Amino acid sequence: MIMKLKLLLFACFFGFISAHSQESFLCQGYYTTEEGGRANLEKFSRTYHDQASWMKRAGQIRATILKGAKLDELPARCNLNPIRKIKQVFDGYTVENVAFESLPGFYVTGNLYLPASFTGKIPGIACPHGHWNNPADYGRYRIDMQYRCAALALMGAAVFAYDMVGYGESLPCLHGTPEVLRLQTWNSMRVIDFLLSLGFVDDTRLGVTGASGGGTQSFLLAAVDDRIDVSVPAVQVSAHFYGGCNCESGMPIHRTPGFETNNVEIAASFAPKPQLIISDGDDWTRNVPDIEYPYIKKVYSLFGKSENVENAHFENEIHDYGYNKRVAMYRFMAKHLGLKLENLTDENGKINDSNAQLQILPLLKVFPDGVRPENEVKSCDEVIRLLNTYR
């Protein structure tokens, strides 16, 4: 009995130490100052000196993300079993409400935007959204989200806008659940699976773009999923701000006992593939032209591919995915994915994305009547169990 008690106390103590240890390696929110972020980049830059040594570091960065997010062993990819509803036809593009299973009974919900007509293979673009919480201007239903998805479809891409975990129609996990970063990154990987399952998406022309928390999802997905060919993270790449939500920094993806990185290096690990960093003067990306972008460009230069990375900085703009930021993204996506920018260009040569037929929330829902799939998982604990055991 005494021995059992000792073993129980040891197990409890070890569990406490392990949990405390993991928590101590989290880098969340404003984890350091702006000067501290600059100093970290200087420190990191001393760990490599050429392409080979950077590639070794980039491998460590990816491994740290995957292990910290508990995705170093990926679940088996179950059948997607897509549910496709309410296809709306507009001038030049269509919108379909779609759900699919990223795990058995765990559904990703979103909207599939397609060109109204096309032949052959077309690019595919994943569009995660950020943390804007106003119910009238929310998630994948946001006006700027509808504009950019419709515009990219008009330019010739298959685009999937999807709910973050716990947002919109995403059930049963709350967004603040401790492993939301793991769930959300897995869902983003499965979004790429879904786009490729359509049969007409070109697996050599895959992109991702999002703003704020969607920017985090963009550079995380680009870092860990080799299928991504073009990445455009907006208003999120920062040396001193690591993301304030559990879906961005609630798991130890930046630090381990023997290694440390940050979001700038995570973005840089996408080199030498094309990447546009969008920033503004009113948030944590204010220093990108002087601090973060030069660091990333230097990494690209190790591959002789400096031309593949760009920064679109809007000093007088705020934290959003506004018109000017979208235009910069359209130009970059057109250049690197072979999209038709001319489809958005008016007779005066101005890029115009206001042709999107904005829809009210009920028209974009997969389950507007609240009737969910019979096999849907009922608890977040069960979702986590599936992540842990369905291999």
State mean pLDDT over 338-354. Answer: 94
36 occurs within a structural domain: no
Task: Mark out the alpha helices in 155-250 (DSSP H runs).
Answer: 180-197, 213-224, 246-249
Distance CA 188, CA 218 (A): 9
102 occurs within a structural domain: yes
* pTM score over 0.95: no
- pLDDT of amino acid 391: 53
Distance CA 234, CA 321 (A): 7
Q: The CATH number of the domain where 213 resides is what?
A: 3.40.50.1820
For the segment 291-340, what is each residue's pLDDT rounded down to a tens digit? 999 999 999 999 999 999 999 999 999 999 999 999 999 999 999 999 99
* Number of structural domains in the chain: 1
In the Cβ-directed half-sphere of 27, how many Cα atoms lie within 13 Å? 23
Distance CA 41, CA 262 (A): 9
- pLDDT of amino acid 138: 82
DSSP 3-state of 192: helix
Q: Given CA atoms 334, 335, 341, 342 in this order, what sign does their dihedral have? A: negative
91 occurs within a structural domain: yes
Task: Say yes or no to pLDDT of 344 above 80.
Answer: yes
Residue keyed to tokens 């935007």: 113
DSSP 3-state of 206: strand
For the segment 35-65, what is each residue's pLDDT rounded down to a tens digit? 999 999 999 999 999 999 999 999 999 999 9
Task: Mark out the alpha helices in 225-322 (DSSP H runs).
Answer: 246-249, 263-268, 292-301
Neighbours of 138 (CB within 10 A): 16
Distance CA 331, CA 313 (A): 14
Task: Say yes or no to pLDDT of 239 above 50.
Answer: yes
375 or 134, which is more confident:
375
Residue keyed to tokens 């959204």: 129
Asked, as a colleague might, if the bond just before 252 is cis with ω within 30 of 0, I would say no
Distance CA 370, CA 180 (A): 23
Distance CA 173, CA 154 (A): 34
- pLDDT of amino acid 248: 97
Distance CA 263, CA 288 (A): 12
Distance CA 11, CA 52 (A): 43
* Domain membership of residue 125 as a residue range: 83-364
State mean pLDDT over 272-279. Answer: 98
200 occurs within a structural domain: yes
* Residue type for position 3: M
- What share of the chain in percent tops pLDDT 70? 93
- pLDDT of amino acid 23: 61
Distance CA 369, CA 156 (A): 32
In the Cβ-directed half-sphere of 19, how many Cα atoms lie within 13 Å? 7
18 or 377, which is more confident:
377
Distance CA 28, CA 329 (A): 28
pLDDT band at 17 (very low <50, low <70, confident <90, very high): very low
Residues 6 or more apart in contact with residue 285 via CB below 8 angstroms: 235, 236, 237, 238, 278, 279, 292
53 occurs within a structural domain: no
149 occurs within a structural domain: yes
Residue 155 dihedral angles phi and psi, to the nearest 5°: -80, -10
In the Cβ-directed half-sphere of 311, how many Cα atoms lie within 13 Å? 28
For the segment 148-190, what is each residue's pLDDT rounded down to a tens digit? 999 999 999 999 999 999 999 999 999 999 999 999 999 999 9
49 occurs within a structural domain: no
Distance CA 343, CA 341 (A): 5
* Residue type for position 191: V
Two tokens, residue 70: 């508990």
Q: Is 113 within 8 Å of 195 (Cβ atoms)?
A: no
For the segment 70-106, what is each residue's pLDDT rounded down to a tens digit? 999 999 999 999 999 989 999 999 999 999 999 999 9
Distance CA 187, CA 173 (A): 13
- pLDDT of amino acid 22: 55
- What share of the chain in percent tops pLDDT 90? 87
35 occurs within a structural domain: no
Length of the chain: 391
Neighbours of 9 (CB within 10 A): 10
pLDDT band at 12 (very low <50, low <70, confident <90, very high): very low
Among the ranges given (52-66, 110-124, 131-145, 344-358), the one the predictor scored with the smallest mean pLDDT = 131-145
- pLDDT of amino acid 355: 81
Residue 120: beta bridge partners? none
State mean pLDDT over 189-210. Answer: 98
